[in-house]
Structure 1
Amino acid sequence: MDEKGLNRGRVLLAVALAQFTVTMVMSIVNVALPAIRSGLGFGPDQLSWVINAYSLVFGGLLLLGGRAADLYGHRRLLVLGALVFAAASLGGALAQSPAEMIVARVVQGLGAAAMAPSALAVLTTTQRAGKERTRALGVYAAVSAVGGAVGVLAGGLLTEYGGWRWVMFVNVPLALAVVWLAMQHIPAGAAAGARRLDVLGGVLGTGGIGLLVLGIVRTNQNAWTSATTLGTLAGAAVLLCAFAVVETRSSTTDPLVRFSLLARRGIGGANIFLLLVCAGQFAGFYFVSLYLQQVLALSPVATGAAFLPFCAGMIAGSAISTRLLGTLGAKALLVPGSLVAAVGFGWFSLISPSGSFLADILGPSLVAGFGIGVCFVPPTSTATEGLPPHEAGMASALLNSARQIGGALGLAVLVTVQVQHTDSALQAGRSPEEAMTSGFGQGLGLAGAILVAAALVAAVVLPSRPRTGAPDRPADAVGAPATEVLQ
């Protein structure tokens, strides 16, 4: 399809629905966690793997998915990923044991790892640079917030009135709708030819990240200085070092990661920043969800509704960030945005065992949500701007990897801290409600500290020069003709 025949509005709709689906699946499962634990018999230390299994595979395979999209076609990988995602969602809805649920979440992550970078690459290579592209990225970021809002509310409604299995089944028609829209409105594009996909790099990178998260999570049972923990973390370091060697060796003509990209201050800084922001945000959602249900004893529906102010704040922050990005630049938005989010999570850490929605949740939800919303659009724009189409999938995969790996690592670290803090409080004679609240508060406070670290990264690493408005033209960094860009 050439530029004249391209309906960019419908392309954006397809991309937005793909991002909505990938985002919603995280929050919709969050609300259903207690019901899933009871229904399938998860142990308390296993439950976070319902989240981690998806985040880990999603984040670990994003680089492979993004590079495959560049080599074999963005639409092709988007459609394939959506079909795998739909099949895994059906498998999760029919799961009869914790193992089956975790396998389904692993396969869901595999499908999402093909969908997410392909969708963002489609956006960056079809929307005209300048105001049109900034608005499209704003829609992309806002849809992430809307996906979170709909996810928590739908998760509550479905769990309450239909059972937890519906939080998995609902993804099936959404993923199939992505397939239909992509086939109808996204250009097929041209594959890069018979070039080798760096499978070895994907295996090493995914294995290294997986061992890293596994080593951190298992500190619930094994001390940090134990042979098991040290051996696991050492294995992760070896695999990640091997990954770096494979990606930089001269014989790797199509690496998953061109480290020269990350050496650019804008791209490297945006990825580090987003990794830290998502490390705090994902853990925050997890702790607040459990606090609402296990301490305040809210129903799944009420828990979903309680998240709406947080997501409304995210939407408002995304809208303001989109409007001001071209004038102020990324750094001027990300430093205050992440600090505002840190204040919100610090406020969350003051939760009480005898608290309420109005006293403990509403205020910090609006503050934290607004700050997080401000932090989404600028990194996406900074990390994908000015790149040629054949590297769009790689850059999109890097950004999505930072998001998901940050979420997985943040959740692994902070859940470990939370569980240990709760156990210590129980041993000290505090009631279960007091102990759980203390542990959740500890985790939320540390999430705020991570966001302060994100503000420091934005202040020190990101370039301070404001972005200048670019003319409305197809996004390309090398002056390619429009018809080439759209392939």
Structure 2
Amino acid sequence: MAVLEEVTGRARMTARQRMVLGLLLGAQFMLAVDFSILNVALPAVGEGLGFGLHALQWVASGFALPAAGLTLLSGRVADLFGRRRMFLIGMALLAAGSLIGGLAVSPAMLLTGRVVQGIATAIGTPAALSLLTTSFPEGPLRSRALGLNGALMSAGFTTGAVLGGVLTDLLSWRWAFLVNVPIAVFILAVTPKLITGGRAAAGTRLDVAGAVTVTAGLLALVYGVTAAGERGWTAPVTLVSLAAAAALLVAFWFAEARAAAPLVPVRILRRRTVVWGNAAGLIAFLTETSLVFLMTLYLQEVLRYSPLVTGLAFGVLGAGTVTGGLLGARVIARLGTYRVLVGAFVVQAAATASLVALGDAHRWILLFLVATFVGGVGNMQAIVAFMVTATSGLPDDEQGLATGLATMTQQIGITIGIPIMSAIAAGRTSALGGPHATAVLGGVRLAVLVNAAITLAGALLVAALLRRRTDE
């Protein structure tokens, strides 16, 4: 509540707006936790249900595929048929998927629950975000709300890792699923009393051709990148999936150019703030989530920390992201989104590059803690600036589309970053002679260096292509 008061004191938020903000932030936090809560618990899940090593990665991929592939469509459906309605559907599906996963007695049942959770995230996240942006006017108030949203979502990813370890160690991996059920039920009960409906005028239609091509294209893209992480980038299934994704997304562009009521109007796709803002967001999510993966390898395979201690170590990164989110709106108000994006990426790149110096002694944990905190601050300020940029200048009836695009960017970045960095680290590790600690450290260092280079490229991209922002 103290955090909410910090936001409300300057923006003169009403009591009802505070309650709406708290509800939506709570839902977004839960959805973010849900993404990462099973990561630490995966070995226990495999042992409990008999998952093979290769099948176990589909616990994560089964969530990521629908979460990334259906998000854009869900955001537009929320514009047309009601954001509150879609939000409630997402929460209901989350409760159902969590219950199925928590009670699973077979791998198929658990994967079913995980897929339902991914669909719930695809529906609930853009709906909640568009409810947030339409509940507060564009300007400082919305920027602060988006800053809190970004901070809590990023904290949710970190909290999920910690909570997954705690629940698995003290109770059972099943509680990583079941913990969602009472929270989702509470949100379902409270939402109709706090948030009004709201839908497009009668006669609006859904662009079926656009919906089919973009959804299939995104699913093929995510599947192709996932397959690359499992089988390699030159494997036939990887190449076919990525080629299909490219063809479908090109078809989507032409379908939108000809549609009477397009899913994503071409004029929006031509807006510099939407296109390059989302490109910056893709880089922000791709680099930070994959860095967490690389640092997990470092902590567990090089320093030999337990999963629980590893999760707790990432609490410092979580503190950095929360700090960046809380400061983001204030810094944006003073410097503008363009300067914040550039500066935040530079800070993140510098902090990430410093991790190349990590060694195999426990004393290096100090560098890890400082660098991840500073990098977390920079990354979250970049995410807040990306969200403000990508959703500004659009009317309320297109906020579901804008937030759907932004959420799609987030999900794709989260999904593709790990396979890319994993392939780099694994290739270098193999070249150094295998999975011993020294070789793993060499692989992590190379991937960290590439990660920092991509982040710096994001700064240059923003500097070159968002320079003429009107808010400057």
Relative to the length of structure 2, the TM-score reads 0.89
Asked whether 1:309 is paired with 2:316, we answer yes
Paired residues of 1:282 and 1:407 also in contact (CA < 8 A): yes
2:454 maps to 450
Instruction: Summarize the Cα distance change of 1:276–1:5 in structure 2 as closer, same or farther, 3 Å threshold.
Output: closer
2:384 equivalent among 367, 377, 381: 377
Cα deviation digits, residues 34-79 of structure 1 (max 9, x gap)? 4334444445555444333323321211111111111111100000
Paired residues of 1:19 and 1:116 also in contact (CA < 8 A): yes
- 1:230: Cα distance to partner? 2.9
Paired residues of 2:68 and 2:222 also in contact (CA < 8 A): no
Asked whether 1:392 is paired with 2:399, we answer yes
2:305 maps to 298
Matches within 5 A, 1:242-281: 242-251=251-260, 253=261, 255-281=262-288
1:58 equivalent among 50, 67, 71: 67
1 CA distance for matches of 2:24 and 2:252?
30
- 1:121: Cα distance to partner? 1.0
Cα deviation digits, residues 374-431 of structure 1 (max 9, x gap)? 1121111121123222111000100111111121122222223333333333xx2x55
Paired residues of 1:157 and 1:300 also in contact (CA < 8 A): no
For the aligned residue pairs, the C-alpha RMSD in angstroms reads 2.5
- 1:138: Cα distance to partner? 1.9
- 1:277: Cα distance to partner? 1.0
- 1:227: Cα distance to partner? 4.2
Cα deviation digits, residues 148-207 of structure 1 (max 9, x gap)? 343232222112111222112212222223222321201122343343323443332232
1:158 equivalent among 160, 163, 167: 167
1:101 equivalent among 84, 94, 110: 110
Cα deviation digits, residues 265-320 of structure 1 (max 9, x gap)? 11211111001111111111222234333443333332221111101111112222
Aligned residue identity for 1:438: G
Aligned residue identity for 1:454: G
Asked whether 1:405 is paired with 2:409, we answer no
Aligned residue identity for 1:112: T
Paired residues of 1:220 and 1:419 also in contact (CA < 8 A): no
Matches within 5 A, 1:104-123: 104-123=113-132
Aligned residue identity for 1:337: A
Asked whether 1:129 is paired with 2:133, we answer no
2:7 maps to none
Asked whether 1:440 is paired with 2:453, we answer no
1:364 maps to 371
- The secondary structure found in structure 1 opposite 2:37 is helix
2 CA distance for matches of 1:448 and 1:35?
33
1:28 maps to 37
Asked whether 1:467 is paired with 2:471, we answer yes
Q: How many residues align?
A: 460
Asked whether 1:202 is paired with 2:211, we answer yes
Instruction: Summarize the Cα distance change of 1:123–1:352 in structure 2 as closer, same or farther, 3 Å threshold.
Output: same
Cα deviation digits, residues 324-361 of structure 1 (max 9, x gap)? 21221111111121121122222334443444563452
Instruction: Summarize the Cα distance change of 1:43–1:200 in structure 2 as closer, same or farther, 3 Å threshold.
Output: farther
Paired residues of 1:61 and 1:202 also in contact (CA < 8 A): no
1:481 maps to none
Paired residues of 1:215 and 1:233 also in contact (CA < 8 A): yes
Aligned residue identity for 1:323: R
- The secondary structure found in structure 1 opposite 2:426 is helix
Range 387-396 or range 40-49, more displaced: 40-49
Aligned residue identity for 1:259: V
Higher helix content, 1 or 2 = 2
| Relative contact order higher in (CA < 8 Å, ≥ 6 apart) | 1
1 CA distance for matches of 2:61 and 2:97?
16
1:81 maps to 90
Instruction: Summarize the Cα distance change of 1:421–1:164 in structure 2 as closer, same or farther, 3 Å threshold.
Output: farther
2 CA distance for matches of 1:94 and 1:327?
50
2 CA distance for matches of 1:12 and 1:224?
43
- The secondary structure found in structure 2 opposite 1:29 is coil
2 CA distance for matches of 1:150 and 1:17?
13
- The secondary structure found in structure 2 opposite 1:376 is helix
Aligned residue identity for 2:65: L
2:24 equivalent among 9, 15, 24: 15
Paired residues of 1:28 and 1:155 also in contact (CA < 8 A): yes
Cα deviation digits, residues 79-108 of structure 1 (max 9, x gap)? 001110111112222334444433322221
Range 121-130 or range 185-194, more displaced: 185-194
1:187 maps to 196
Range 171-180 or range 354-363, more displaced: 354-363
2 CA distance for matches of 1:141 and 1:222?
33
Asked whether 1:147 is paired with 2:151, we answer no
Paired residues of 1:54 and 1:106 also in contact (CA < 8 A): yes
Asked whether 1:239 is paired with 2:243, we answer no
Paired residues of 1:71 and 1:193 also in contact (CA < 8 A): no
Paired residues of 1:346 and 1:445 also in contact (CA < 8 A): yes
- The secondary structure found in structure 2 opposite 1:180 is helix
1 CA distance for matches of 2:120 and 2:156?
17
2 CA distance for matches of 1:56 and 1:460?
32
| Runs of 5+ unmatched residues, structure 1 | 469-487
1 CA distance for matches of 2:298 and 2:42?
12
Paired residues of 1:352 and 1:437 also in contact (CA < 8 A): yes
Asked whether 1:332 is paired with 2:336, we answer no
Instruction: Summarize the Cα distance change of 1:382–1:96 in structure 2 as closer, same or farther, 3 Å threshold.
Output: same
